[in-house]
Amino acid sequence: MRDQDDDAQPATSTYLRYLEETDSLREQTNLDILAALDLPTDSNELDVGCGVGTQALMLAAAIGPQGRVTGLDIKPEFLEHARAVTTAKGMSDRVTFEEGDFSDRLPFDDGAFDWVWSSDCLGYFPLSEEVMRVIRPGGSLNVLFWSSEQLLPGYPRLESRLKATSGGLAPFGLQSKPDTHPLRALTGLREAGLTDTKVLTFVTSVYAPLSPEIRRAMTDILEMRWPDVEPELSQEDVELYRRLTDPASPDFILNLPGYYGFFTVSVFRGWVRT
Protein backbone atom coordinates (compact mmCIF):
# COMPACT_ATOMS: atom_id res chain seq x y z
CA MET A 1 0.00 0.00 0.00
CA ARG A 2 1.24 3.48 -0.78
CA ASP A 3 1.47 5.91 2.10
CA GLN A 4 -0.82 8.83 1.32
CA ASP A 5 -0.80 10.62 4.67
CA ASP A 6 0.68 14.04 5.31
CA ASP A 7 3.93 12.60 6.64
CA ALA A 8 4.65 10.56 3.52
CA GLN A 9 6.91 13.07 1.77
CA PRO A 10 9.17 13.86 4.76
CA ALA A 11 9.44 10.16 5.56
CA THR A 12 10.35 9.38 1.96
CA SER A 13 12.92 12.17 1.87
CA THR A 14 14.57 10.89 5.05
CA TYR A 15 14.58 7.32 3.78
CA LEU A 16 16.16 8.37 0.50
CA ARG A 17 18.88 10.15 2.44
CA TYR A 18 19.49 7.05 4.54
CA LEU A 19 19.79 4.89 1.43
CA GLU A 20 22.22 7.23 -0.26
CA GLU A 21 24.39 7.83 2.80
CA THR A 22 24.68 4.15 3.74
CA ASP A 23 25.76 3.07 0.24
CA SER A 24 29.42 3.44 1.17
CA LEU A 25 28.95 1.05 4.08
CA ARG A 26 27.30 -1.67 2.02
CA GLU A 27 29.19 -1.33 -1.27
CA GLN A 28 32.10 -3.69 -0.57
CA THR A 29 29.82 -6.25 1.06
CA ASN A 30 27.58 -6.28 -1.99
CA LEU A 31 30.58 -6.64 -4.30
CA ASP A 32 31.78 -9.60 -2.21
CA ILE A 33 28.33 -11.15 -2.45
CA LEU A 34 28.24 -10.73 -6.21
CA ALA A 35 31.65 -12.34 -6.55
CA ALA A 36 30.52 -15.33 -4.47
CA LEU A 37 27.25 -15.75 -6.36
CA ASP A 38 29.08 -15.78 -9.72
CA LEU A 39 26.00 -14.57 -11.57
CA PRO A 40 25.89 -15.15 -15.34
CA THR A 41 27.28 -12.36 -17.51
CA ASP A 42 25.16 -10.76 -20.24
CA SER A 43 22.04 -12.03 -18.49
CA ASN A 44 18.58 -10.62 -17.82
CA GLU A 45 17.88 -9.80 -14.17
CA LEU A 46 15.01 -8.55 -12.00
CA ASP A 47 15.73 -6.52 -8.86
CA VAL A 48 12.66 -6.89 -6.61
CA GLY A 49 12.21 -4.02 -4.19
CA CYS A 50 14.87 -1.99 -6.00
CA GLY A 51 14.26 1.19 -4.00
CA VAL A 52 16.26 4.09 -5.45
CA GLY A 53 18.11 1.87 -7.91
CA THR A 54 21.60 1.89 -6.43
CA GLN A 55 21.95 -1.87 -6.46
CA ALA A 56 20.35 -2.18 -9.90
CA LEU A 57 23.21 -0.09 -11.27
CA MET A 58 25.74 -2.20 -9.39
CA LEU A 59 24.17 -5.38 -10.78
CA ALA A 60 24.31 -4.02 -14.32
CA ALA A 61 28.01 -3.30 -13.92
CA ALA A 62 28.58 -6.84 -12.62
CA ILE A 63 26.89 -8.73 -15.45
CA GLY A 64 28.53 -6.96 -18.37
CA PRO A 65 27.54 -4.57 -21.15
CA GLN A 66 25.08 -6.95 -22.78
CA GLY A 67 23.23 -7.63 -19.53
CA ARG A 68 19.91 -6.04 -18.69
CA VAL A 69 18.51 -5.18 -15.25
CA THR A 70 14.89 -4.34 -14.47
CA GLY A 71 14.10 -2.75 -11.11
CA LEU A 72 10.69 -3.31 -9.52
CA ASP A 73 9.33 -1.25 -6.63
CA ILE A 74 5.96 -0.26 -5.25
CA LYS A 75 6.93 3.35 -4.47
CA PRO A 76 6.81 5.71 -7.47
CA GLU A 77 8.89 8.35 -5.67
CA PHE A 78 11.75 5.85 -5.36
CA LEU A 79 11.46 4.92 -9.02
CA GLU A 80 11.51 8.57 -10.08
CA HIS A 81 14.76 9.02 -8.21
CA ALA A 82 16.17 5.77 -9.64
CA ARG A 83 15.37 6.78 -13.23
CA ALA A 84 16.97 10.20 -12.78
CA VAL A 85 20.20 8.72 -11.40
CA THR A 86 20.29 6.04 -14.10
CA THR A 87 19.85 8.62 -16.84
CA ALA A 88 22.57 10.81 -15.35
CA LYS A 89 24.95 7.86 -15.38
CA GLY A 90 24.11 7.02 -19.00
CA MET A 91 22.76 3.58 -18.07
CA SER A 92 19.15 3.88 -19.22
CA ASP A 93 19.72 1.47 -22.11
CA ARG A 94 20.72 -1.27 -19.66
CA VAL A 95 18.72 -0.51 -16.53
CA THR A 96 14.98 0.17 -16.51
CA PHE A 97 12.37 0.41 -13.77
CA GLU A 98 8.78 -0.71 -13.36
CA GLU A 99 6.24 0.10 -10.68
CA GLY A 100 4.61 -2.98 -9.21
CA ASP A 101 3.96 -5.27 -6.27
CA PHE A 102 5.58 -8.70 -6.45
CA SER A 103 2.49 -10.26 -4.87
CA ASP A 104 0.29 -9.01 -7.74
CA ARG A 105 0.47 -9.85 -11.42
CA LEU A 106 3.88 -8.74 -12.69
CA PRO A 107 4.14 -7.08 -16.12
CA PHE A 108 6.62 -9.68 -17.40
CA ASP A 109 6.42 -12.86 -19.45
CA ASP A 110 6.91 -16.30 -17.97
CA GLY A 111 10.62 -17.06 -17.58
CA ALA A 112 11.57 -13.51 -18.56
CA PHE A 113 14.57 -13.37 -16.21
CA ASP A 114 17.68 -15.45 -15.74
CA TRP A 115 17.79 -14.60 -12.06
CA VAL A 116 16.12 -12.47 -9.40
CA TRP A 117 17.87 -10.36 -6.77
CA SER A 118 16.13 -8.83 -3.76
CA SER A 119 17.89 -6.95 -0.98
CA ASP A 120 16.57 -5.53 2.30
CA CYS A 121 12.96 -6.45 1.63
CA LEU A 122 12.84 -8.50 4.79
CA GLY A 123 9.44 -7.26 5.94
CA TYR A 124 7.85 -8.79 2.85
CA PHE A 125 9.99 -11.73 1.81
CA PRO A 126 9.82 -11.75 -2.01
CA LEU A 127 8.82 -15.36 -2.53
CA SER A 128 5.56 -15.58 -4.45
CA GLU A 129 4.09 -17.46 -7.39
CA GLU A 130 4.59 -14.34 -9.50
CA VAL A 131 8.29 -14.09 -8.68
CA MET A 132 8.73 -17.78 -9.40
CA ARG A 133 6.80 -17.46 -12.65
CA VAL A 134 9.15 -14.89 -14.16
CA ILE A 135 12.37 -16.84 -13.45
CA ARG A 136 13.37 -19.12 -16.30
CA PRO A 137 13.96 -22.83 -15.64
CA GLY A 138 17.49 -23.16 -14.30
CA GLY A 139 17.50 -19.56 -13.10
CA SER A 140 18.12 -18.50 -9.53
CA LEU A 141 16.46 -16.52 -6.75
CA ASN A 142 18.84 -14.57 -4.49
CA VAL A 143 17.42 -12.86 -1.39
CA LEU A 144 19.64 -10.74 0.87
CA PHE A 145 18.97 -9.20 4.24
CA TRP A 146 20.72 -7.70 7.25
CA SER A 147 20.72 -10.60 9.72
CA SER A 148 22.68 -9.52 12.83
CA GLU A 149 24.89 -6.83 14.28
CA GLN A 150 27.04 -5.67 17.19
CA LEU A 151 27.16 -1.88 17.14
CA LEU A 152 27.63 -0.79 20.77
CA PRO A 153 30.96 -2.27 21.92
CA GLY A 154 31.24 -2.38 25.69
CA TYR A 155 27.48 -2.19 26.29
CA PRO A 156 26.17 -5.75 25.75
CA ARG A 157 23.30 -5.42 28.24
CA LEU A 158 21.92 -2.31 26.58
CA GLU A 159 22.34 -3.71 23.10
CA SER A 160 20.59 -6.97 24.04
CA ARG A 161 17.67 -4.97 25.47
CA LEU A 162 17.48 -2.85 22.34
CA LYS A 163 17.34 -5.99 20.22
CA ALA A 164 14.44 -7.28 22.32
CA THR A 165 12.25 -4.23 21.64
CA SER A 166 9.55 -4.17 18.98
CA GLY A 167 11.77 -2.08 16.72
CA GLY A 168 14.76 -4.30 17.37
CA LEU A 169 12.81 -7.43 16.48
CA ALA A 170 11.12 -6.00 13.39
CA PRO A 171 9.93 -7.27 11.01
CA PHE A 172 9.56 -10.27 13.32
CA GLY A 173 6.78 -9.22 15.70
CA LEU A 174 6.41 -10.00 19.37
CA GLN A 175 3.52 -12.34 18.55
CA SER A 176 5.03 -13.83 15.39
CA LYS A 177 5.30 -17.58 15.03
CA PRO A 178 8.83 -19.03 15.05
CA ASP A 179 8.45 -20.51 11.57
CA THR A 180 7.89 -17.01 10.12
CA HIS A 181 11.28 -15.74 11.26
CA PRO A 182 13.44 -14.58 8.33
CA LEU A 183 16.29 -16.88 9.31
CA ARG A 184 13.98 -19.83 8.63
CA ALA A 185 13.42 -18.75 5.02
CA LEU A 186 15.24 -21.82 3.71
CA THR A 187 12.09 -23.84 4.35
CA GLY A 188 10.07 -21.44 2.20
CA LEU A 189 12.52 -21.72 -0.68
CA ARG A 190 12.31 -25.50 -0.59
CA GLU A 191 8.53 -25.53 -0.31
CA ALA A 192 8.41 -23.26 -3.39
CA GLY A 193 10.21 -26.01 -5.31
CA LEU A 194 13.64 -24.41 -5.56
CA THR A 195 16.58 -26.79 -5.70
CA ASP A 196 20.17 -26.70 -4.43
CA THR A 197 19.10 -24.21 -1.78
CA LYS A 198 21.80 -22.66 0.36
CA VAL A 199 22.56 -19.78 2.72
CA LEU A 200 25.71 -17.64 2.63
CA THR A 201 26.63 -15.13 5.33
CA PHE A 202 28.91 -12.13 4.88
CA VAL A 203 30.44 -10.03 7.67
CA THR A 204 31.21 -6.34 7.38
CA SER A 205 33.60 -4.94 9.98
CA VAL A 206 33.63 -1.26 10.86
CA TYR A 207 36.48 0.09 12.95
CA ALA A 208 38.31 3.31 13.78
CA PRO A 209 39.55 5.52 12.33
CA LEU A 210 36.28 6.09 10.47
CA SER A 211 36.25 8.07 7.25
CA PRO A 212 33.67 10.90 7.12
CA GLU A 213 31.54 8.80 4.74
CA ILE A 214 31.57 5.72 6.96
CA ARG A 215 30.94 7.81 10.07
CA ARG A 216 27.88 9.37 8.42
CA ALA A 217 26.65 5.96 7.31
CA MET A 218 27.12 4.47 10.76
CA THR A 219 25.33 7.44 12.34
CA ASP A 220 22.38 6.69 10.05
CA ILE A 221 22.49 3.01 10.99
CA LEU A 222 22.31 3.89 14.68
CA GLU A 223 19.30 6.12 13.97
CA MET A 224 17.53 3.47 11.90
CA ARG A 225 18.30 0.28 13.78
CA TRP A 226 16.17 0.74 16.90
CA PRO A 227 13.23 3.02 16.04
CA ASP A 228 10.87 4.26 18.75
CA VAL A 229 12.45 2.09 21.44
CA GLU A 230 12.38 4.48 24.38
CA PRO A 231 8.92 3.53 25.74
CA GLU A 232 10.13 -0.07 26.09
CA LEU A 233 13.30 0.77 28.02
CA SER A 234 13.93 1.75 31.62
CA GLN A 235 14.78 5.39 32.27
CA GLU A 236 18.36 4.40 32.98
CA ASP A 237 18.64 2.59 29.66
CA VAL A 238 17.00 5.48 27.82
CA GLU A 239 19.57 7.91 29.17
CA LEU A 240 22.45 5.60 28.26
CA TYR A 241 20.99 4.95 24.81
CA ARG A 242 20.71 8.68 24.12
CA ARG A 243 24.27 9.34 25.28
CA LEU A 244 25.71 6.62 23.08
CA THR A 245 23.74 7.31 19.90
CA ASP A 246 23.46 11.11 19.83
CA PRO A 247 26.22 12.60 17.61
CA ALA A 248 26.20 15.73 19.79
CA SER A 249 26.96 13.73 22.93
CA PRO A 250 30.56 13.56 24.21
CA ASP A 251 29.88 9.85 24.76
CA PHE A 252 28.78 9.18 21.18
CA ILE A 253 29.87 5.60 20.53
CA LEU A 254 31.51 6.40 17.18
CA ASN A 255 33.89 8.79 18.95
CA LEU A 256 35.71 5.87 20.57
CA PRO A 257 39.31 5.92 19.31
CA GLY A 258 39.18 2.13 19.09
CA TYR A 259 35.60 1.76 17.87
CA TYR A 260 34.74 -1.63 16.37
CA GLY A 261 31.39 -2.97 15.25
CA PHE A 262 30.10 -5.38 12.66
CA PHE A 263 26.98 -6.55 10.88
CA THR A 264 26.12 -9.60 8.81
CA VAL A 265 24.20 -9.98 5.59
CA SER A 266 22.68 -13.38 4.81
CA VAL A 267 21.88 -14.55 1.30
CA PHE A 268 19.21 -17.21 0.76
CA ARG A 269 19.56 -18.81 -2.65
CA GLY A 270 17.92 -21.49 -4.77
CA TRP A 271 17.38 -22.53 -8.40
CA VAL A 272 14.23 -23.11 -10.41
CA ARG A 273 13.97 -26.68 -11.67
CA THR A 274 14.82 -27.25 -15.32
Residue 175, domain CATH: 3.40.50.150
173-215, pLDDT tens digit by residue? 878 889 888 899 899 899 999 999 999 999 999 999 999 999 9
Residue 3 falls inside a structural domain: no
Determine the Cα–Cα distance for residues 28 and 232; give it in Å rounded to an integer.
Answer: 35
The crossing angle, in degrees rounded to 10, of helices 8-21 and 76-88 is: 40
Residue 1 falls inside a structural domain: no
197 is in which domain, residue-wise?
Answer: 8-271
Q: How many domains, in total, are found in the chain?
A: 1
**What pTM value is reported for the model?**
0.89
How many helices and strands in the chain, by DSSP H and E? 10, 7
Residue 2 falls inside a structural domain: no
C-alpha closest to that of 225 among 146, 156, 143, 124: 146
Residue 40 falls inside a structural domain: yes
Residue 61 falls inside a structural domain: yes
Residue 46 falls inside a structural domain: yes
Residue 142 falls inside a structural domain: yes
Determine the Cα–Cα distance for residues 83 and 75; give it in Å rounded to an integer.
Answer: 13
Residue 15 falls inside a structural domain: yes
52-98, pLDDT tens digit by residue? 898 999 999 999 999 999 999 999 999 999 999 999 999 999 999 99
C-alpha closest to that of 139 among 48, 63, 40, 50: 40
108-156, pLDDT tens digit by residue? 999 999 999 999 875 566 678 889 999 999 999 999 999 999 999 999 9
